[in-house]
Amino acid sequence: MSPLYPDIEPYDHGLLDTGDGNLIYWEACGNPAGRPALVLHGGPGSGCSTTARRYFDPDAYRIILFDQRNCGRSLPSAADPETDLSLNTTWHLVADIERLRLHLGIDSGLLLGNSWGSTLALAYAETHPERVAAIVIAGVTTTRRSEIDWLYRGMAPLFPEEWHRFRQAIPAGMQGQDEDMVAAYHRLLNDPDPATRLKAARDWHDWEAASILLTAPEGLPRRWADPAYLLTRARIITHYFVNGAWLEDGALLKNAARLSGIPGVLLQGRFDIEAPLVTAWELARAWPQSELKIIEQAAHSTSNPDMTAAIVAATDRFRDLPQK
């Protein structure tokens, strides 16, 4: 039996105007009078999913999901090469969360983040700790340079054939071919030629698929069959990673004291290749009010049954937490 709560549909949704040309899609599910919970999706650029609604007791929670800038149903889409991503940074997203909180009349609530969403949850909570009642994050990342380097260099010995293809897809002589794969793909994904951009998006995701397929028998996400989705996601990821997510390196760990008083649960798969356990362990040491739970048979995917059950158990744990 699935640990997820039953499928539900939003009772409200809309497009929030940020005032700088962006429209942020948001939706609300569950109990309109329940404890607010905000879902922060991964990627960056993956968009929110219907499954994320099911991590919460719909009778107890007012569940808010939104597509971060330029992805999913938010406008304009990063798949369009004319979309200016200079207005899409970690700090723009932090401001969007605060703008959405005010728009929906929320005082404070629970944050749930996965993968990149854990970085964003930490950035928001360290900026606005008074607005966060509790945090649940899975596949813990802080987007340090070492974490980015691991994804696009350090993992190479684990997948030599896939790494070879990933590198060979870069045109000969392109600056950064050996030194910086993120920068090279960032250039390709912003090339004037549509065919070049689409090939780069597919090649980027083929590299990511190597680690996903190792531990995900269910296969790749269905959304990966959509070329526009691949372009959106790859363009946003490289935009963020080539800029170090606009974070001082290691800042989220260094500033973890700002989370003092906020309870948290860190959920980490023992076999998570994309986000090795060490980051979650370091964060748990820097944040005394957090509890690290290692899911022994899980990797980076939240679809692992043990990881899914752990996320639901964590949100259930905070269901009756007194409001701040």
pLDDT score at 177: 47
pLDDT score at 223: 80
- For 253-278, give one letter per residue: b (16+ CB within 10 A) or e: bebbebbeebbbbbbbbeebbbbbee
pLDDT score at 207: 95
pLDDT score at 215: 65
The domain segmentation of the chain, as residue ranges, is: 12-146+247-318, 153-245
| Distance, first Cα to last Cα, the chain | 34
Note down pLDDT in tens along the chain; length 324 residues.
Answer: 789 999 999 999 999 999 999 999 999 999 999 999 999 999 999 999 999 999 999 999 999 999 999 999 999 999 999 999 999 999 999 999 999 999 999 999 999 999 999 999 999 999 999 999 999 999 999 999 999 999 999 999 999 999 999 999 998 767 544 569 999 999 999 999 999 999 999 999 999 988 876 666 666 677 878 999 999 999 999 999 999 999 999 999 999 999 999 999 999 999 999 999 999 999 999 999 999 999 998 889 888 899 999 999 999 999 877 655
Q: Computed from CA positions of residues 128, 102, 63, 87, in that sequence, does the dihedral angle turn out positive or negative? A: negative
pTM score of the predicted model:
0.95
pLDDT score at 322: 64
pLDDT score at 313: 97
Query: In the CATH scheme, what is the code of domain 12-146+247-318?
Result: 3.40.50.1820
| Active site amino acids | 115, 272, 300
pLDDT score at 216: 64
State the amino acid at position 299 in one-letter form.
A
State the amino acid at position 12 in one-letter form.
D
